[in-house]
Amino acid sequence: MFFVIDNPKLQRIIALIRDDRTAGSRARGGHYLRLEASQGQLTVAGPTAEASIPATVYEDGVLFPRVPRFRRLLEATFTVK
């Protein structure tokens, strides 16, 4: 999976989708996200919500990252101003 997207926009989408802020919700399986890049769209899905946003997709794929680690990875990536 290889795609290009606006980093702040993706972080806002993840903040809306995720529901693993409490220990009870993490126990229900809310600790992972489903990211699917295909046909010019990035779909971010949590246990109860899903959002699709436009992206430049070079290679289709699906990824199941842990939310806290993925957020830290996004914060550490460089941005072009």
Task: Please state, as a whole number, how many other Cβ atoms lie within 10 Å of the Cβ of residue 46.
Answer: 21
**Domain extent listing, the chain:** 2-19+28-76
| Opening angle at CA 31, ends 18 and 60, nearest 5 | 75
Q: Which CATH superfamily hosts domain 2-19+28-76? A: DNA Polymerase III, subunit A, domain 2 (3.10.150.10)
- Amino acid at position 47, single letter: P
Q: Round the average pLDDT of the chain to a whole number and report it.
A: 82
- Predicted local confidence at residue 38, as pLDDT: 95
Distance CA 70, CA 27 (A): 19
Q: What 3-state DSSP class applies to 71?
A: helix
45: left (phi over 0), alpha (psi -120 to 50) or beta: beta
For residue 78, pLDDT over 80 is answered with no
35-68 pLDDT, tens per residue? Answer: 999 999 999 998 788 999 999 999 999 999 988 7
- Contact criterion met (CB below 8 Å) for 67 and 52: no
For residue 25, pLDDT over 60 is answered with no
